[in-house]
C-alpha cells in the first residue's frame, strides 16, 4: 500500500501545484528572482519518444533544483517547425525553453525556406543526452562483422532505416557513400517496422538508434555489428566503432539539447547550465538514461554551439552527396 | 453539380504533383486523380436527369439555411483564431455563444450562463487536469 | 496445463488490492477519455507515464494498459448518442448506432456495444494467453506484399460501405485515398499536397477528419434542415436497455466475427483499430441477407465493429509483449514505459519476467470485467444526456470537438481543418455521397502505396511478388472471390430494382 499512498501524495501535490500556478502570474522580479513561475519546455515530438522521455526524466529533478516546476509541452509535427514557431512567439525571459536535436541541424539543409534561423533566433543552454546509432544484422544471416557482410552482399546490400531526412536515413546515405556505393536504402515508417524487416530477413542491415532497438539487442533477436560513436558504447564494449571496422570518417552521435530564445539573460542561461550539469551527473539520472541506452552528458553553451555548427556542415555535405534536393 | 467541379479542382493539382516528380512520389496520386475524374464524370452522367429535375425544384423550394451554417462555422473559427492569442476563456465563450446563435430566439442569459459553465469546467478538465497547453487568459 | 498454472499465478499478481486499484483507475480514466471526442488515449497515457516511474512496473503497466482499452469502451458512446466519434475507430459505429439512437433505441445500442466490447476483448485475451508466441511469429512474417494484398481486400470490402450508389462510394474511396497522400511521402521524403502549411507536413490529422466528417457535419445537417433531434423525456428503465430476442440473434455471430477480424488486424503491426472496425462492418454487410438494413440501425452494424475494436487493441499486445515490436504509437509508449523500468519485452519476457507477463495478461481480463460492471449502469446516465435540449447540447459538443482536436497535436490548424471537413461532409451528405468510405480510403491510402512500392523495391520491381508469396496470394484470391460474388449479386439486385425505378 505504500506505493499507492505515494502515488496519491504525488497526485495531490501535482493538483496543488497546478492550482497555485494559475495565480502565480504576478511576476516582475529580475534575474535573481528567476524562476518565479513554472518554466515551459517545448518538445518538438509527440509524447513517449526519446527526446520526450529523457527530458521528462531530467526535468523533474531540474525543477526541484530551480525551485519551480518544468512543464513539458509537446508540439509535434513538420520536422520541428511547429515547435520552433511556438518558441519564437515566446519572450526571451527564460520561461520558455525548447529541446532541439541533431535532426534540427539536418533540417537546416533539408528545407529551403524555414521561417526562422536557429543560430540567430536561439541560443544553446546545454546538451542533455547523447546516443549512438548501431548497424544491425539478423543473427540467422551468420555475418559476424561488417567486412564479412560487405564481401558477401556487396552490390546488393539492402539497408533498412526510418523515413528519409531522419538522422538514421542520412547516416545510411553517409554509410553508402563511404562503404557500399550501390546499396539500396529502403525507408520504413517506424523503428518497429525496421526491426520487423530485419527479423523477416528482407533486408541485410538496419541502421537505427541504439535506444530504439536495445530491447531486441538484449534479447538476441538482432546482432549489432558496428556502433557509430567515436568511441565504443560502454553498454556494448565488444562491438567495434565504424572507424575500427574499417570505415573511416563514419561517425554519428545523436543528441538532445536545451535551447533558449536569443537575448535571454546570460545569468539565467548560466544558472540553467550548471543545474543541468549537476542533475545529469547524479547516479539516478545516469542509470535511468543508461537503461534507455543514452548517455547523460551536459556541455557548455559554447561547446554546444560548435557541435551544432559542425553538424549542420556535416549533414549539408551528406545531403548534397546523396543528391537530395532541398524541399 | 458544383461538386464535380470541386472534385475536378482537386484533381487539377493532382496532375501538377503527378507530372513534375520522377515517377516515384507522384505516380500513385496521378493514378488516383484519373480514377476520380472518371468516377465523377460517370456519376454526373448517370445522375444528370435527376440533377436537372432537382435544380428546377430547388429554385422554387426553400432557401438554404445560412444562419445556422454561419453560426457553427463562425463558432469554430472563433476558437481557431482566439485560442492561442487571447487564451482559453475568451475563445471558449466566443465559440459557444456564436454557435448557440444558430437557433433563433436569443435567450441571452441562458446562452451566457452555459458558455460560462462550459468554459470554467473545460478549463479545469482539459488545461489543469489533462495538461492541454493553453493559457487561461492570453 | 502449464499455461493455466502460469495464468493462475498471473491472477494472484493482478488480484492484489493495489493491482485492482490501479486497474480500476486506469480503466475508469480510459472510459472517460474515450467518451470525450478527440482526446485520445495516447495523450492520456503519455501524461500518466511519468507517474508510473514511481510505481512497480506491473502496476504501471496495468494502469497504462487499462487507459488504452478502457478508452475503446467509451469511444462508441458519443458515436451512438451524438454521431460524434470518441475516436477514429468508432466512426463506423455512427453509421448504425446513431440511427438506433434516433429511433429511441440508444439504451439498447449502448448495451450491445458494451457486451460486444467485452466479448471482443476477451476473445483477443484468450488468443494472447494460449497462442501469443505462435501468432506473433505469424504476424511478423507479413511482408510488404502481404500488407498490400490485405489492403486490397479491405478496400474491396469497403465498396460495400456506401448506403446509396456504389459509384459514389467508389468516388469517395478514391478521394479518401488521395487525401491520405497529403503529407510527407515515406519513400522519397517529398512533401505532397501540403500547400506550404506546416500542419499538413505530417498528413491530415485523422482525428480532425473523423470529427469533421461525422460530428460537425451532423450538427450542420441537423441545424440547417431544421431537423433538430427532440429531447427524449421518457425515463429509461433497465428493461428498455435490454435487447430484444431479435437483437440477440443478430448480435451473436456478428460479434464473434468482429472479434476474429479485430484480433487478426490488431496483431499485425502498423494497421490499427480503425481498419479493423471498418473491415468488420464491411464483412457483416457482405454476409448479411438484407444489407439494405445497414445504415438504418442494424444491430450487426454496431456489434461487429465494436467487438473488432476491442479485440484489435488487446491483440496489439501480442507482438508488443512477445516480440518487442509495437504495433502503433500507443504500444510504443508502453514499450518505452517498460524499458524505463529496465524490462525489455521480447521472446524472453514470457520466461524471464513470467510474473509480469502473466500478471498483465490477467489484469486485462479483470479490467474488462470492471469495464463491464462500470459501463452497464452508466448507460442510463448517458441516455439522459439526450434529454438535454439540443440548443444547449450542440454548442457544448462543438466545444468538446474543438478542444479535443486541438489537444491531439496542440495545433489550431487542425481545428480549422475540422471545420473544413465538417462543411465538406455536410455537402457530401446532402448530395448522397457517404463519408465512411472516404475515411477508410484515407486510412488505407498511405499504407497501400507505401507497401506497394516497398514490395516492388524488395522484389527488384517484379510484380510476381504479389502472387509468389502465399499469404499475399491468398488475400488476392479472397478479393477475387469477393468481387465475383458481389457482381453476381449486384446483377440480381439491379434486376429487381430496375422495375420500380422511374
| A132-227 and A38-130+254-321 share a CATH fold | yes
Domain assignments of chain A as residue spans, ordered by start: 38-130+254-321, 132-227
CA dist A45 and A100 (Å) reads: 10
For chain A, the farthest-separated pair of C-alpha atoms sits apart, in whole angstroms, at: 68
* C415 touches B: beta carbon within 8 Å: yes
In this prediction, the residues of chain C whose per-residue pLDDT falls under 50 are 494-502
pLDDT score recorded for residue C234: 52
| Nearby residues of C496 by Cβ (< 8 Å), 6 or more positions away | none
pLDDT score recorded for residue C187: 64
CA dist B109 and B115 (Å) reads: 10
Of C21, C341, C410, the CB nearest to A4: C21
CB contact under 8 A, C43 and A47: yes
Q: What per-residue string of b and e applies to C395-408 under the rule 16 or more CB within 10 Å gives b?
A: bbbbbbbbbbbbbb
CA atoms within 13 A on the CB side of B95: 31
Residue C500 lies in a domain: no
* A24 touches C: beta carbon within 8 Å: no
Task: Supply angle C-alpha C217, C221, C224, rounded to 5.
Answer: 130
In this prediction, the residues of chain B whose per-residue pLDDT falls under 50 are 1-2, 5, 12-23, 57-61
**Fold (CATH) for A38-130+254-321:** D-Maltodextrin-Binding Protein; domain 2 (3.40.190)
Per residue in C479-498, pLDDT (tens digit) is 888 777 766 655 555 444 44
Q: List the domain range (segments joined by +) for residue C344.
A: 2-495
Residue C501 lies in a domain: no
CB contact under 8 A, A18 and B136: no
SS3 category, C164? coil
* C223 touches B: beta carbon within 8 Å: yes
For chain B, the farthest-separated pair of C-alpha atoms sits apart, in whole angstroms, at: 61
pLDDT score recorded for residue A180: 75
User: Three cell numbers at C2?
Assistant: 502449464
The CA distances from residue B55 to B4, B45, C86, in Å, are 15, 15, 37
* C50 touches A: beta carbon within 8 Å: yes
- Report residue C93 CA to chain centroid gap: 9
Of A15, A18, A73, the CB nearest to B133: A73
Q: Which residues of A touch C409 (CB under 8 A)?
A: 46, 75-77, 82
| Nearby residues of C280 by Cβ (< 8 Å), 6 or more positions away | C257, C258, C261, C262, C304, C305, C307, C308
**DSSP for A212-267?**
HHHHHHHTTSSEEEEE-SSS--TT-TTSPBTTTTT-TT---EEEEEEEEETT--HH
The CA distances from residue B79 to B127, C372, C418, C425, in Å, are 15, 37, 12, 20
Residue A285 distance to chain C (closest CA, Å): 11
Q: Which residues of C touch B133 (CB under 8 A)?
A: 410
Task: Supply angle C-alpha B66, B71, B73, rounded to 5.
Answer: 95
- Please choose, from the candidates C80, C74, C73, C69, the residue with its C-alpha nearest in 3D space to the C-alpha of residue C108: C80
CB contact under 8 A, A78 and C198: yes
CB contact under 8 A, C398 and B39: no
Q: Which residues of A touch C59 (CB under 8 A)?
A: 3
With an 8 Å Cβ cutoff, the interface of chain A facing chain B consists of 15, 18-19, 22, 40, 71, 73
pLDDT score recorded for residue C193: 65
CB contact under 8 A, C325 and A188: no
Structural domains counted in chain C = 1
Residue C263 lies in a domain: yes
- Please choose, from the candidates C52, C23, C30, the residue with its C-alpha nearest in 3D space to the C-alpha of residue C336: C52
pLDDT score recorded for residue B21: 43
Residue C318 lies in a domain: yes
Residue C502 lies in a domain: no
pLDDT score recorded for residue C275: 84
* C408 touches B: beta carbon within 8 Å: no
CA atoms within 13 A on the CB side of A33: 8
User: Three cell numbers at A275?
Assistant: 543545474
Size of interface A-B (CB pairs under 8 A): 9
For helices B2-20 and C166-180, angle between their N-to-C axes, nearest 10 degrees: 40
**DSSP for A253-298?**
EEEEEEEEETT--HHHHHHHHHHHHHHHTSHHHHHHHHHHT-EE--
Burial of C501 (0-12, 13-18, 19+ CB in 10 A): exposed
Q: Which residue has the cell 541504439?
A: A210
**DSSP for C103-147?**
TT-HHHHHHHHHHHHHHHHHHHHHHHHHHHHHHHHHHHT--HHHH
Rg of chain A taking only CA atoms, in angstroms: 21
Does residue C290 have a cis peptide bond before it, meaning omega lies within 30 degrees of 0?
A: no
Q: Which residues of A touch B133 (CB under 8 A)?
A: 40, 71, 73
Specify the DSSP class assigned to residue A143. Answer: -
CB contact under 8 A, B136 and A40: no
Q: A132-227 maps to which CATH number? A: 3.40.190.10
Task: Please give the average pLDDT of every successive group of 10 residues along chain A, which has 327 residues.
Answer: 40 41 42 76 78 84 82 75 79 84 83 75 86 88 80 82 83 85 83 85 88 81 87 84 84 87 84 85 84 82 86 87 73
* C279 touches B: beta carbon within 8 Å: no
User: Three cell numbers at A281?
Assistant: 551527473
CB contact under 8 A, B43 and C416: no
Tell me whether 0.90 is exceeded by the ipTM. Answer: no
- Please choose, from the candidates C348, C280, C330, C319, the residue with its C-alpha nearest in 3D space to the C-alpha of residue C142: C319
With an 8 Å Cβ cutoff, the interface of chain B facing chain A consists of 128, 131, 133, 136
Size of interface A-C (CB pairs under 8 A): 151
Percent of chain C with pLDDT over 90: 0
Q: Which residues of A touch C347 (CB under 8 A)?
A: 219, 221
CA dist C92 and C301 (Å) reads: 8
User: Three cell numbers at A83?
Assistant: 515547435
Q: Which residue has the cell 523503428?
A: A191
Helices (H), chain A: 2-23, 50-66, 81-88, 102-110, 118-121, 146-153, 167-179, 191-200, 210-218, 266-280, 283-292, 301-321
Per residue in C95-105, pLDDT (tens digit) is 888 888 888 88
| Nearby residues of A18 by Cβ (< 8 Å), 6 or more positions away | B128
* A292 touches C: beta carbon within 8 Å: yes
User: Three cell numbers at A288?
Assistant: 535511468
pLDDT score recorded for residue C226: 67
Amino acid at each position: 500500500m505504500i506505493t499507492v499512498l505515494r502515488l496519491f501524495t504525488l497526485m495531490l501535490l501535482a493538483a496543488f501545484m497546478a492550482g497555485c500556478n494559475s495565480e502565480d502570474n504576478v511576476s516582475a522580479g529580475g534575474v535573481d528572482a528567476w524562476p518565479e513561475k513554472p518554466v515551459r519546455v517545448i518538445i518538438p515530438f509527440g509524447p513517449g519518444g526519446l527526446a520526450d522521455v529523457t527530458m521528462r526524466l531530467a526535468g523533474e529533478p531540474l525543477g526541484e533544483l530551480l525551485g519551480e516546476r518544468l512543464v513539458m509541452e509537446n508540439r509535434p509535427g513538420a520536422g520541428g517547425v511547429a515547435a520552433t514557431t511556438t518558441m519564437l512567439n515566446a519572450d526571451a525571459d527564460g520561461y520558455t525553453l525548447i529541446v532541439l536535436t541533431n535532426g534540427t541541424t539536418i533540417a537546416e539543409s533539408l528545407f529551403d525556406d524555414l521561417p526562422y534561423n536557429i543560430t540567430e533566433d536561439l541560443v544553446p543552454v546545454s546538451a542533455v543526452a547523447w546516443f549512438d546509432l548501431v548497424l544491425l544484422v539478423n543473427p540467422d544471416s551468420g555475418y559476424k562483422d561488417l567486412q564479412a557482410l560487405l564481401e558477401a552482399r556487396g552490390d546488393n546490400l539492402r539497408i533498412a532505416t526510418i523515413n528519409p531526412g531522419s538522422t538514421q536515413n542520412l547516416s545510411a546515405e553517409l554509410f553508402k557513400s563511404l562503404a557500399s556505393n550501390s546499396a539500396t536504402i529502403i525507408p520504413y515508417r517506424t523503428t518497429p517496422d525496421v526491426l520487423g524487416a530485419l527479423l523477416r530477413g528482407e533486408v541485410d542491415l538496419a541502421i537505427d538508434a541504439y535506444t530504439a532497438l536495445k530491447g531486441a539487442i538484449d534479447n538476441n533477436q538482432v546482432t549489432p555489428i558496428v556502433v557509430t560513436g567515436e568511441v565504443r558504447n560502454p553498454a556494448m564494449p565488444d562491438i567495434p566503432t565504424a572507424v575500427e571496422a574499417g570505415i573511416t570518417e563514419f561517425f554519428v552521435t545523436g543528441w538532445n539539447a536545451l535551447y533558449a530564445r536569443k537575448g535571454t539573460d546570460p545569468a539565467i542561461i548560466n544558472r540553467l547550465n550548471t543545474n543541468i550539469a549537476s542533475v545529469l551527473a547524479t547516479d539516478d539520472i545516469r542509470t535511468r538514461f543508461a537503461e534507455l541506452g543514452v548517455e547523460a552528458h551536459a556541455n557548455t553553451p559554447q561547446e554546444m554551439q560548435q557541435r551544432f555548427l559542425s553538424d549542420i556542415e556535416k549533414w549539408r555535405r551528406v545531403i548534397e552527396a546523396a543528391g537530395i534536393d532541398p524541399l | 453539380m458544383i461538386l464535380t467541379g470541386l472534385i475536378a479542382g482537386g484533381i487539377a493539382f493532382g496532375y501538377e504533383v503527378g507530372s513534375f516528380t520522377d515517377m516515384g512520389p507522384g505516380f500513385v496520386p496521378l493514378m488516383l486523380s484519373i480514377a476520380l475524374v472518371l468516377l465523377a464524370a460517370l456519376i454526373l452522367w448517370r445522375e444528370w436527369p435527376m440533377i436537372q429535375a432537382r435544380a428546377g425544384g430547388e429554385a422554387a423550394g426553400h432557401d438554404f439555411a445560412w444562419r445556422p451554417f454561419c453560426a457553427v462555422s463562425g463558432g469554430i473559427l472563433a476558437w481557431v483564431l482566439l485560442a492561442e492569442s487571447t487564451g482559453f476563456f475568451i475563445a471558449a465563450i466566443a465559440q459557444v455563444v456564436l454557435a448557440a446563435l444558430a437557433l433563433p430566439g436569443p435567450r441571452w442569459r441562458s446562452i451566457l450562463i452555459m458558455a460560462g459553465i462550459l468554459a470554467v469546467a473545460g478549463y479545469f478538465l482539459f488545461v489543469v487536469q489533462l495538461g492541454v497547453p493553453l493559457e487561461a487568459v492570453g | 496445463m502449464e499455461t493455466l498454472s502460469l495464468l493462475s499465478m498471473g491472477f494472484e499478481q493482478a488480484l492484489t488490492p493495489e493491482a485492482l486499484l490501479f486497474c480500476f483507475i486506469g480503466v475508469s480514466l480510459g472510459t472517460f477519455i474515450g467518451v470525450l471526442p478527440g482526446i485520445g488515449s495516447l495523450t492520456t497515457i503519455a501524461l500518466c507515464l511519468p507517474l508510473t516511474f514511481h510505481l512497480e512496473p506491473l502496476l504501471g503497466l496495468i494502469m497504462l494498459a487499462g487507459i488504452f482499452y478502457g478508452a475503446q469502451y467509451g469511444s462508441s458512446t458519443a458515436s451512438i448518442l451524438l454521431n460524434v466519434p470518441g475516436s477514429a475507430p468508432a466512426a463506423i459505429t455512427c453509421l448504425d448506432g446513431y440511427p438506433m439512437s434516433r429511433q429511441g433505441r440508444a439504451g439498447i445500442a449502448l448495451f450491445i456495444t458494451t457486451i460486444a466490447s467485452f466479448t471482443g476483448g476477451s476473445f483477443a485475451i484468450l488468443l494472447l494467453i494460449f497462442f501469443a508466441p505462435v501468432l506473433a511469429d505469424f504476424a511478423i512474417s507479413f511482408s510488404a506484399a502481404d500488407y498490400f494484398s490485405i489492403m486490397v481486400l479491405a478496400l474491396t470490402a469497403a465498396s460495400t460501405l456506401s448506403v446509396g450508389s456504389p459509384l459514389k462510394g467508389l468516388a469517395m474511396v478514391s478521394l479518401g485515398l488521395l487525401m491520405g497522400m497529403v503529407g510527407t511521402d515515406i519513400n522519397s521524403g517529398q512533401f505532397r499536397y501540403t500547400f506550404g502549411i506546416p500542419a499538413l507536413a505530417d498528413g491530415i490529422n485523422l482525428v480532425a477528419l473523423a470529427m469533421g466528417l461525422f460530428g460537425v457535419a451532423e450538427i450542420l445537417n441537423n441545424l440547417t434542415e431544421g431537423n433538430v433531434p427532440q429531447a427524449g423525456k421518457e425515463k429509461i428503465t433497465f428493461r428498455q436497455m435490454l435487447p430484444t430476442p431479435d437483437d440477440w440473434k443478430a448480435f451473436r455471430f456478428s460479434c464473434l466475427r468482429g472479434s476474429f477480424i479485430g484480433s487478426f488486424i490488431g496483431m499485425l503491426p502498423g494497421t490499427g483499430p480503425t481498419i479493423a472496425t471498418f473491415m468488420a462492418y464491411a464483412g457483416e454487410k457482405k454476409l448479411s441477407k438484407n444489407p439494405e438494413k445497414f445504415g438504418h440501425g442494424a444491430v450487426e452494424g454496431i456489434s461487429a465493429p465494436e467487438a473488432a475494436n476491442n479485440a484489435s487493441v488487446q491483440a496489439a499486445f501480442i507482438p508488443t509483449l512477445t516480440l518487442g515490436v509495437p504495433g502503433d504509437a500507443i504500444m510504443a509508449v508502453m514499450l518505452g514505459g517498460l524499458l524505463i523500468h529496465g524490462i525489455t519485452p521480447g521472446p524472453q519476457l514470457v520466461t524471464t519476467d513470467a510474473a509480469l507477463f502473466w500478471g498483465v495478461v490477467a489484469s486485462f481480463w479483470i479490467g474488462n470485467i470492471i469495464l463491464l460492471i462500470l459501463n452497464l449502469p452508466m448507460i442510463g446516465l448517458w441516455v439522459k444526456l439526450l434529454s438535454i435540449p439540443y440548443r444547449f447540447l450542440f454548442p457544448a459538443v462543438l466545444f468538446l470537438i474543438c478542444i479535443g482536436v486541438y489537444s491531439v497535436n496542440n495545433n489550431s490548424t487542425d481545428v480549422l481543418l475540422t471545420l473544413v471537413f465538417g462543411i465538406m461532409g455536410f455537402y457530401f451528405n446532402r448530395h448522397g455521397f457517404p463519408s465512411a468510405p472516404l475515411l477508410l480510403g484515407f486510412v488505407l491510402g498511405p499504407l497501400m502505396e507505401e507497401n506497394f512500392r516497398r514490395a516492388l523495391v524488395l522484389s527488384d520491381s517484379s510484380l510476381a511478388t504479389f502472387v509468389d508469396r502465399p499469404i499475399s496470394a491468398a488475400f488476392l484470391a479472397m478479393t477475387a472471390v469477393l468481387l465475383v460474388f458481389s457482381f453476381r449479386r449486384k446483377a440480381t439486385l439491379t434486376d429487381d430494382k430496375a422495375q420500380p425505378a422511374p
